[in-house]
Structure 1
Amino acid sequence: MTHPTPSRGRRRAPTRMERAAGRAAALQKPRVVLALLLLLALTCVLLLDGYLRAEVGGDQRVRTGAGSGDVPDKVLDGGPILTFRGGRATSVSVPAKTIALTFDDGPDPTWTPKVLEILRKYDIPGTFFLVGSMVSRHPGIVRTMVDQGNEVGIHTFTHIDLSYQSDARVKREMEQTQLALAGAAGITTTLFRAPYSSETDAIDNYSWPVYKKLGADGYTSVFVDTDSDDWKRPGVSKIIKWATPKDGKGAAVLFHDAGGERSQTVAALPRYIEKMRAKGYTFTTVSGVMGQRNATGAAGAPRDGTPADGTAGASDLSGLQAAHHTATGTTRYEGRALIAAVAVAEWTVPALSALLIVVGVAVMGRFAMMLALARRHHRQRNRRRFGWGPPVTRPVSVIVPAYNEKECIAGTLRSLARSTHPIEIIVVDDGSTDGTAEIAESLGLPNVRVVRQRNAGKPAALNNGVRHASHDIVVMMDGDTVFEPDTVRQLVQPFADPEVGAVAGNAKVGNRDTVIGAWQHIEYVMGFNLDRRMYDLLRCMPTIPGAIGAFRREAVLGVGGMSDDTLAEDTDITIALHRAGRRVVYQEHARAWTEAPGSLGQLWSQRYRWSYGTMQALWKHRKSLTDRGPSGRFGRVGMPLVVLFQIVTPLFAPLIDVFTVYSMVFIDLRAALLAWLAVLGVQLLCAAYAFRLDREKYRYLLMMPLQQLAYRQLMYLVLIHSSITALTGGRLRWQKLKRTGEVGTAAGVG
């Protein structure tokens, strides 16, 4: 046995690697904060976009009246314009032979410009009642609308029926729309039309308090005299007929420039204008109606007389003509900020949607590829005539790197002592402080050597074991792993093929009876029985697992041994062997039982090291993309697949979950849920096939839905964290997970 003297005495100075790790840790903090801020910003953008699209703009009658006992008769029987100047309800009628053209639900990028062009052509103004969410999405149209001399009013922000909303919701709908108008056209307005409203006689006891409150806030509510019902798309002739007032009366006429397909409206509008002009009608805005009434008095009555229609006199209407006001101060800047935020959302959400499609296709393509190739791999390996060559019976060296493995080392070594294949066991104690080496020596097992070294990390421990190996085939494993008696024999059989330079075994989770353990068990079974079979068939295996792998000793030495350049020394050496022209294969019958992390903290630490180390290894071997000949196969096939399936796709896979939630909340709960269940069904199918190949119990698949809801999200965060670390170029030392030794007990090793 070799017993180098460990360093003692004064504390040593930090190494270059440790100093780099410290700098990386310092750099990670602000980058993690930045990543969280970006995630928060993305969430806000999606919420904003969802809020903008939460309501449908079509004008449909969504409820029946609830009685109108509280509504004054003079309002129910009055004109379409309702004000509350001085706290008293005042209704105004449209003068005879006058039409106030009004349009609801816009602006729409397709139909509103066409309507504006018609109004410009005939030189008449319109009054547009705009939905705030649409204003914020199409500010340029509103700016053109106002510059052309048209009038605008509020139609709420999300086109919601205000009758059943709280005072806070009503206030928010109005204020948000005012902000949108301020940002789009630099104005605010005093005009309001409620969604789903019609004539004044439809005001009921639910909606009346809303009109009163808005009137107290200075708003003028606008109803209709004549409804074209163009939203029903009854045909151009009927739209014109229904929009025509009877007996030369004046009217506030309702059309729609948005909320659906409006080609019939666009076709009917010019003919309607020409028809009404031929009848001697003039066109004006809502404010224009109030201005005319202020000049002539109600229904032609003397200015100091009582109106013939019983409404308030025109003397009460002074100052109401100016519906638009210039937005100033914080309102203007807040409005611009809203427009800018919506512009970001309008660009971001479609871009993410397109990316989601790409990710979805990649994910489903991966599942299809794995199933097809795994099935083909299984059929090839289970043919009666399949064989690697003459049986490999010569002894091999098993290297067990150990750092503070007192809970597991005895079980590991006893499992190896039961091996059906001749082996020597080399335990490399990497500066353990818990008596690991002493435990290994005290077992008194045959063919066991303990090599002590100063703490230098796992790659150094493995290289030390390779140097002390007596045989040309070396098996590498972890100090917490338990082998079955036949594991080593199965693992080394592929070396009968002289092209094979390394073999990856089948790692199994031993502590699978906890929730976290069951999740990892599903992940391991799918990874080893689908991914590795696929990569083996494509001859581009990316990783020989640290828990169980076998190598030709001269192949390891030929590529310089295990490198400490990355945290994933197993991936690093696997790629190096590919580039050296060695074949790497998967032996599914060689099984090793390992103890998976038992807590979320330990799981995070392990997977963070794995994912970051994989990125390091891929970057280190990036020149493999240009390798030629058989040694370049990994660069041509394996490297793109690993980058796509293990980094890029998982990094963007959270989009599937984000958009699922987005769709459930804002679009279609049932359709989104069915889509999520369909994806889960495909994953369950893949997992069930993997379990079948490995002859595992299907009951663990009951944990898969919960795994998709919780475990997968954790892995996303780990990958994001790893990506941030990769940007810093930092490095970390060999991290030790807390072990319990329960795998050895579960496997019957004691």
Structure 2
Amino acid sequence: MGVAVTESLRALLLRQDNDYRPITSRFEAENRHGWHEAGVTPTRPCASVVIPAYNVAYCLPAVLDALSVQTHTPEIIVVDDGSTDGTADIARRHTCVDQVICLPEHRGAATARNVGAVAASQNTVVFMDADMVIPPHVIADLAARADDAAVLLGFRHNVAHGTPLPDAPDIYEDHRVRWRPPVGTPLLYSGIVLDEPIDGWPLEHTRDLIDLGYGRTYYDWDLPRMVVTALLAVPRHAFFEVGGFDPEFGRLGWGMEDTHLGAKLIAAGLVVIPVRQAAGFHLDPPDAAALWQSKLASWPATLRHYRSLLEAPPPQRSALFTAETLRLLSRCEVNR
């Protein structure tokens, strides 16, 4: 990446705006199509979908079935993260999957995504959770709008286990769109305490994130925190340049690895653009309540790690990251 960066990641973030309008305006002029309007299929393959999968046999068939009927056919890579159920076998049997990579042991989603990104062959990597069921147009919409200078955000609509899926995902079910935080208790990310209820609209009130540049915040939200890997499109070269996901997050517990990736990409000069029509159903597991409590128990450790990384210069280790991840990939079972 050239000259070594000595400024902290936090300092670099404070200098980056998020005015992405030249990118969206160019897309609309070239395609005569609205940025937030479904449609415009890429003319050639350009996206690799990377799915980290750990004990998701309960939902993976539905996820892969939805990917098999996309209007744009992507490369699909499932990285089994040491599952002990039938996850890997389900992925191997599904005709839409191009590669099934089985890690030698459970490493966490950050490592699984790194391995999948290194194995990917396309210019755009779409990171997608293994419990996301998406409508047929979603991958096409992300691939058609992919840009070397942009991170594209999709959205999720949580659905309780065993509940029939609604006709279409409702973007307003995503906390980044409509947000009703608790009162009188420190908020998870910023630690601020609200004195009265608010009906928050983070996306709308920040002009679709344009106003979250230059280190600005919307209550408990900042621009890096908007980067969520439930459904996220990233330029593959930029992902490599910033050193991918920090695997330490997976060792510590749950959360923050996507926020940290977002911070690194923003500090490197990329803008973050929502794609409102790119929304899917996030299928809750049967033990959702217990799993959520387990995740929250590890949140303080992952948040502390993220805060410490903000005070250090961002990693500049494209070659080292690739070499380390390729070594791990060489130890994996790979089925094509």
TM-score bracket, normalised by the shorter chain, equals 0.5 to 0.7
Between the aligned partners of 2:135 and 2:89, the Cα distance in structure 1 is 24
Structure 1 position 509 matched with structure 2 position 168: no
> Highest relative contact order (Cα 8 Å, sep 6+), 1 or 2?
2
Once the two structures are superposed, residues 583-622 of structure 1 have per-residue CA deviations (whole angstroms, 9 ceiling, x without a partner) of 1211111012112365533222234545653453233113
Change (3 A) 1:423 1:451: same
Q: Is the 8 A contact 1:475 1:548 kept in 2?
A: yes
Between the aligned partners of 1:385 and 1:428, the Cα distance in structure 2 is 35
Change (3 A) 1:611 1:544: farther
- The alpha carbon displacement at 1:522 in A equals 10
Between the aligned partners of 1:525 and 1:460, the Cα distance in structure 2 is 26
Q: Is the 8 A contact 2:41 2:141 kept in 1?
A: no
Q: Which residue of 2 aligns with 1:438?
A: 89
Residue identity opposite 1:580 in structure 2: A
Between the aligned partners of 1:547 and 1:558, the Cα distance in structure 2 is 22
RMSD across aligned positions (CA): 3.2
Change (3 A) 1:513 1:405: closer
Structure 1 position 584 matched with structure 2 position 235: no
TM-score, L = length of structure 2: 0.61
Residue identity opposite 1:503 in structure 2: L
Once the two structures are superposed, residues 104-162 of structure 1 have per-residue CA deviations (whole angstroms, 9 ceiling, x without a partner) of xxxxxxxxxxxxxxxxxxxxxxxxxxxxxxxxxxxxxxxxxxxxxxxxxxxxxxxxxxx
Change (3 A) 1:506 1:473: same
Between the aligned partners of 2:297 and 2:138, the Cα distance in structure 1 is 29
Between the aligned partners of 2:203 and 2:101, the Cα distance in structure 1 is 33
Q: How does 1:367-516 map to 2 (within 5 A)?
A: 386-387=34-35, 392-395=42-45, 396-443=47-94, 445-454=95-104, 455-495=106-146, 497-500=147-150, 502-511=151-160
Change (3 A) 1:622 1:394: farther
Q: Is the 8 A contact 1:491 1:589 kept in 2?
A: no
TM-score, L = length of structure 1: 0.29
Change (3 A) 1:432 1:602: closer
User: Higher helix proportion, which one?
Assistant: 1
Between the aligned partners of 2:235 and 2:108, the Cα distance in structure 1 is 22
Residue identity opposite 1:528 in structure 2: V
Q: Which residue of 2 aligns with 1:594?
A: 282
Once the two structures are superposed, residues 602-648 of structure 1 have per-residue CA deviations (whole angstroms, 9 ceiling, x without a partner) of 22223454565345323311358xx9xxxxxxxxxxxxxxxxxxxxx
Q: Which residue of 1 aligns with 2:6?
A: none
Structure 1 position 528 matched with structure 2 position 199: no
Q: Is the 8 A contact 1:394 1:422 kept in 2?
A: no
Between the aligned partners of 2:72 and 2:138, the Cα distance in structure 1 is 9
Between the aligned partners of 1:522 and 1:609, the Cα distance in structure 2 is 28
- The alpha carbon displacement at 1:508 in A equals 0.9
Between the aligned partners of 2:53 and 2:288, the Cα distance in structure 1 is 21
Q: Which residue of 2 aligns with 1:552?
A: 235
List alignment gaps of at least 5 residues for structure 1.
1-379, 515-520, 628-750
Between the aligned partners of 1:570 and 1:503, the Cα distance in structure 2 is 13
Between the aligned partners of 2:140 and 2:299, the Cα distance in structure 1 is 28
Q: Is the 8 A contact 1:429 1:437 kept in 2?
A: yes
Between the aligned partners of 1:419 and 1:600, the Cα distance in structure 2 is 32
Change (3 A) 1:417 1:438: same
Between the aligned partners of 2:301 and 2:203, the Cα distance in structure 1 is 20
List alignment gaps of at least 5 residues for structure 2.
1-24, 164-169, 179-200, 214-222, 250-254, 315-336
- The alpha carbon displacement at 1:498 in A equals 4.2
Q: How many aligned residue pairs are there?
A: 236
Q: Which residue of 2 aligns with 1:562?
A: 245
Between the aligned partners of 2:305 and 2:257, the Cα distance in structure 1 is 10
- The structure whose Rg is larger is 1
Once the two structures are superposed, residues 512-548 of structure 1 have per-residue CA deviations (whole angstroms, 9 ceiling, x without a partner) of 898xxxxxx9984342353245262225422322211
Between the aligned partners of 2:309 and 2:92, the Cα distance in structure 1 is 39
Between the aligned partners of 2:41 and 2:48, the Cα distance in structure 1 is 17
Give the SS at the match of 1:471.
coil
Between the aligned partners of 2:302 and 2:129, the Cα distance in structure 1 is 17
Give the SS at the match of 1:538.
helix
Q: Which residue of 2 aligns with 1:537?
A: 210
Change (3 A) 1:528 1:595: same
Once the two structures are superposed, residues 705-731 of structure 1 have per-residue CA deviations (whole angstroms, 9 ceiling, x without a partner) of xxxxxxxxxxxxxxxxxxxxxxxxxxx
Change (3 A) 1:612 1:425: same
Between the aligned partners of 2:99 and 2:229, the Cα distance in structure 1 is 20
- The alpha carbon displacement at 1:387 in A equals 4.3
Change (3 A) 1:385 1:410: closer
Between the aligned partners of 1:583 and 1:532, the Cα distance in structure 2 is 15
Structure 1 position 617 matched with structure 2 position 306: yes
Residue identity opposite 2:209 in structure 1: D
Q: Is the 8 A contact 1:571 1:614 kept in 2?
A: no
Residue identity opposite 1:485 in structure 2: P
- The alpha carbon displacement at 1:559 in A equals 0.4
Between the aligned partners of 1:531 and 1:462, the Cα distance in structure 2 is 27
Between the aligned partners of 1:615 and 1:524, the Cα distance in structure 2 is 28
Q: Is the 8 A contact 1:507 1:545 kept in 2?
A: no
Between the aligned partners of 2:259 and 2:276, the Cα distance in structure 1 is 18
Change (3 A) 1:579 1:613: same
Between the aligned partners of 1:544 and 1:465, the Cα distance in structure 2 is 19
Give the SS at the match of 1:527.
coil
Once the two structures are superposed, residues 284-334 of structure 1 have per-residue CA deviations (whole angstroms, 9 ceiling, x without a partner) of xxxxxxxxxxxxxxxxxxxxxxxxxxxxxxxxxxxxxxxxxxxxxxxxxxx
- The alpha carbon displacement at 1:427 in A equals 0.7
Q: Is the 8 A contact 2:131 2:284 kept in 1?
A: no
Between the aligned partners of 1:557 and 1:426, the Cα distance in structure 2 is 17
- The alpha carbon displacement at 1:416 in A equals 0.6
Change (3 A) 1:433 1:600: closer
- The alpha carbon displacement at 1:499 in A equals 2.6
Once the two structures are superposed, residues 355-395 of structure 1 have per-residue CA deviations (whole angstroms, 9 ceiling, x without a partner) of xxxxxxxxxxxxxxxxxxxxxxxxx999987549x964432
Q: Is the 8 A contact 2:135 2:280 kept in 1?
A: yes
Q: Is the 8 A contact 2:77 2:98 kept in 1?
A: yes
Residue identity opposite 2:279 in structure 1: R
Between the aligned partners of 1:429 and 1:463, the Cα distance in structure 2 is 12
Identity of aligned residues (%): 29
- The alpha carbon displacement at 1:569 in A equals 1.1
- The alpha carbon displacement at 1:489 in A equals 1.4
